[in-house]
Amino acid sequence: MLVFNTQIELVSYLNSISDQKSSVGFVPTMGALHAGHLSLIQESVKNNSINVISIFVNPTQFNSVEDLAKYPKTLDADIAKIKTVSSSIIVFAPSVDDIYGGKTVSQHFDFDGLENQMEGKFRPGHFDGVGTIVKRLFEIVKPTNAYFGEKDFQQLQIVKNMVDKNKIPVNVIGCPIFREPSGLAMSSRNERLSVIERKEAEIIYKTISQTQKLFATKSAAAVSDFVTKTFKNHPHFELEYFEIADEATLKSCVRKNKTKKYRAFIAVFVNKIRLIDTISLN
């Protein structure tokens, strides 16, 4: 399997193998790969002749120094996992310097307000960091199709917005959330949970699944109230936010509108580890 650590080498290799008939599939990741990432990679391999996976822990999208420092780095294990999908996948694992050239700063973006909700509210600057790295990686890889998880639904909408506005010729494809048998959404951060915390974290999916049923008959405010109460007296879990939002604009649902699609979004802290999940309510 080919692993490139610099954009110059990657671009020169891609130029040497691609022709007009090639379709380039791309899955950007921050590594510490799990079955959720692999499901995106499989989707890419199924639909493209050339497949590139990037592994890059992007510093500009972290708003907590501690979170960045603790982010797991497991490149050898990641490469072994990618090989189980296909040995012809191209891995791009650049250094921070190779990507940012000594100036590790974000570009500022206007995502039509999508960036001001939920993750954007609680992680200031996060989506400028995401926009900066995704745009940069798209310029380097020039993918035909790029795969993103619905686990980070807000990120998916933001990437679609950026691609439309900047007229970047790539299809952005959303892929379903891959879950553990308990329902817990797979995440690189799950590795930092203790055995007990991981078991207790089942409450996140259980709760949002209940909101799916409740929302059929109750108002958004009543459903939010249910979630707040569920976490209020929990000894280990702290609710950061729960939102029911319009899937297209990500604006909070105040009054239900039958023509709109809604989604529940949740972020909780367990022992300083931040977990997010989301579920469609329609």
Binding site for ligand AMP (CB under 6 A): 29-30, 36-37, 39-40, 148-149, 151-152, 175, 177-178, 185-188
Question: What angle separates helix 153-165 from helix 126-141, to the nearest 10 degrees?
Answer: 60
Between 4 and 148, whose beta carbon lies closer to ligand AMP? 148
* Eight-state DSSP code of residue 124: T
Name the minimum Å distance from CB 121 to ligand AMP. 19
Between 39 and 224, whose beta carbon lies closer to ligand AMP? 39
262 in the Ramachandran plot: left (φ > 0), alpha (ψ -120 to 50) or beta?
beta
Between 29 and 161, whose beta carbon lies closer to ligand AMP? 29
Measuring CA to CA, which residue among 145, 38, 139 is closest to residue 94?
139
273-280 β-sheet, strand order: 237-246, 262-270, 273-280
Closest-approach residue to ligand AMP (CB): 149
Name the minimum Å distance from CB 134 to ligand AMP. 10
Between 205 and 220, whose beta carbon lies closer to ligand AMP? 205
Between 37 and 123, whose beta carbon lies closer to ligand AMP? 37
Name the minimum Å distance from CB 111 to ligand AMP. 16
Name the minimum Å distance from CB 217 to ligand AMP. 29
- 266 in Cβ contact with 208 (< 8 Å): yes
- One-character DSSP codes across 17-36: H--TT--EEEEEE-S---HH
Given the residues 34, 37, 108, 234, the one annotated as active site: 37
Beta strand pairing call for 24-29 and 50-55: parallel
- 129 in Cβ contact with 30 (< 8 Å): no
Name the minimum Å distance from CB 20 to ligand AMP. 28
Tell me the CA distances in angstroms from 26 to 14, 112, 136, 141, 190, one per residue in order.
Answer: 12, 25, 13, 8, 24
Judge whether 37 counts as a catalytic residue.
Answer: yes
Measuring CA to CA, which residue among 44, 6, 46 is closest to residue 25?
44
Catalytic residues, which ones? Answer: 37
